[in-house]
Amino acid sequence: MSTKHMAAAAALLAAAAFAPAGPPERSPQEIEKALATVEKQERERVLLAAKLADTVCAVFQGGGGGSGVIFTADGLVLSNFHVTRLSPTMRIGLNDQRIHPSVVLGVDPSGDLSVLRLTEERTWPFTPLGDSDAMEQGDWVYAMGNPFLLATDFTPTVTLGVVSRINVYQPGSMRGQLLYPDCIQTDASINPGNSGGPLFNFAGEVVGINGRVSLRERGRVNIGVGYAISSNQIKKCLPDLRAGLIVQHGTLNATVNDLQDGEWPGGVRVTFTQIMKPGCAADAGIQPGDALITFQGIPITETNQFVRLISVLPKGRRVHLRYARLGEDSWEEREVKLFLDGIPLVRAADAARRKTPTVYIEHEIDRTFGAARKALQPITGETRTGTRTVAGRDAFPIEERFAQRTYGLTIGDRVIAIDAEGGTDRGTPMDPDVRGDLLERIHAWNDLLAPDRGERFESVVFEGGWLVGDTTVDKMVAKTKDGKERIYYIDLDSGRLLRVDLYAQGWAFWTSVYFSDWREAGGLLRPYKVRIFERDKDKLLQTFDYESIRKS
C-alpha cells in the first residue's frame, strides 16, 4: 500500500475509533475499494476545474477589474455591471495567458449584469448556463475568478463550497442599483475581484454570477456569506443584454405591504398602498386598498415574494395580475394584463452617448434567425391533416398541402421553404378566408427560412426579450418590402418560432399566431398545434390541431 493510501487508511481508522459501535471493521479490500472511489472523485474534480478554468475571464480596463465567464462558443461573456459600468470596451485575460479585446453589448444596472462579446471570430471554450432552480441547499459548487487581482497570468483561482440558501432576496444600493432579488447564497470564498465570476455546479454549468458578500465589521474580506445572481434570473434578461440595451427592471409603479387579516387566507393580505401616476397599475385601474391575489398565476402570500417575482422581469414584459377590491359586503375579484413600467437608473444623456456597434447586434440577429432556420426546416413537400376550430363553432376536418421551394446557398448548404398548394376544408376546396390565413402562416415561416433576409425584409430590429407563456424569447421586428411589419418571437435555445404577429390581409387586422406541441415528423420537429388570436386582445380566433404531418 502506498504512503498516500496508508495515510488515507489511517485517517479512516482514526475516524472509526471515535465513532459509535457499529458494523464490524472493514476488510483491507473494502478500504482499498473506498479509497479508489475517493481518488476517482478527486480526479474528476481536478479535471473539471481545469476544463472550467479555460472559460473563466479576468475582466479589466485600467487598474481595477473583476471576473467573468464565456458562456457561448462564439464568445459571449457574462460579468457584473459594477465591473464594466458603461464602458464601451473591456480587456479579457484568459487562461491562455493572453489579453483579448471585447465590446460591452448590454448592461443591467439594477441586476448588476453585463454581457460582453470577444471580438475575435473563432470558436471559444465556454461553459453553458445551467438551471439554478435545480440547486438545493447542500449542493457542492465551485466559485472561480480573480480575487484581489492575484491572477497576474490570468490563471483563475478556485474555491469550493456548498449552497447555503436559494431564492435569496438582497436589497439594492446606490439608487436602486445592484439589486439581487433571486440569488444563491454560498460559503465558497468570494472576495473583491471575484465580482462577475462564475458559480459552477458539479455538472460543469454556470448556475450563478458572483457579485456580493456580507461583510459586517470584518472589512472587505470573505466571511463565508457570498451571493451569486441566479442563472435563471440572467436568462430572463439575456435577450435584452444581447440586443445591446440598458436593461430597466420592471415595476408596477405601485407599492404593496403586508396587512394582518384573520379573515384572509393565510392571515396576511398583500395590499396596494400607493399607486403612482402615470404608471401601468394606475392605467389598469388598480387602486389603493386593492388586494393582490396572484402574479403570473402564482398565489401571492407576502410582499417579499411579490417583489422577488417582479424584480427579475425587465421593463415592457406583459404580465397577468388577479386582485380583489372590497365592495359593500364582500371582496370582488378582478383580472388585468398590463405591460410593466421600467426603473431608469442611467441618465438619459449617458444612455444616449452609449452606442453598441451595429455589427455585433447584426451578429445576434443572424444567430437567432440561424437557429430558427435549423429548427423550422420543413419536410420536402408535406401534407398536414387534422382539425380546425373557428371561435364559436364546432371543430371540422382539414387537410393542407404544400409544395417545396429550394434556395441554394453554397454547395452542401441548402434551405428549403414551402408554399401553399391546396387542401380541403370539410372535404371541399378551401374557402378564401382559410386560404388567406394559411398563406399568411406559410409566408411567416418562409421569411425565416429564406437564406438572405435582405430579399424579404427592408429592416430587422432586435428589440430584446419577451415572454411567451413562461418562456423568455428573442423579439425581432421585421419590416417587409411591401411596407408591412412582422414580429417574430424565437426561443434561441431550441430555435423554435413560438409566436409571430402579422397583418392578416384576408381579415385586415393584426393577429398573433402561436406554435406549440412540437413533435417529430419526418425526422424533424414540427408544431402540431397552431392558435391564432387577435393581437393583444386575447380573443381566440382559430385553432389548428394536426393529427398527421407527412411527406406529400
Crossing angle of helices 432-449/358-376, nearest 10°? 120
Please give the backbone phi and psi of residue 159, each rounded to the nearest 5 degrees, phi first: -125, 150
Confirm if 444 and 504 have CB atoms less than 8 A apart. no
Confirm if 244 and 360 have CB atoms less than 8 A apart. yes
Closest CA to 46 of 202, 164, 195: 202
Place of cell 430587422: 460
The residues with which 472 forms a beta bridge, in sequence order, are 467
What is the side-by-side order of every strand in the sheet holding 496-504? 428-429, 413-425, 396-410, 382-390, 539-551, 524-534, 509-521, 496-504, 485-491, 471-480, 457-468
Tell me how far apart the alpha carbons of residues 210 and 54 are, in angstroms, rounded to a whole number.
18
Task: Give the contacts of 29 (CB within 8 A, at least 6 positions apart).
Answer: none
Tell me how far apart the alpha carbons of residues 268 and 102 are, in angstroms, rounded to a whole number.
49
What are the residue numbers of the active site? 82, 112, 195
Task: Give the contacts of 256 (CB within 8 A, at least 6 positions apart).
Answer: 270, 271, 272, 273, 292, 303, 306
Q: Where are the alpha helices (DSSP H) in 225-347?
A: 231-242, 280-283, 303-311
Confirm if 77 and 102 have CB atoms less than 8 A apart. yes
List the Cα angle 204/227/198 in 5-degree steps. Answer: 30
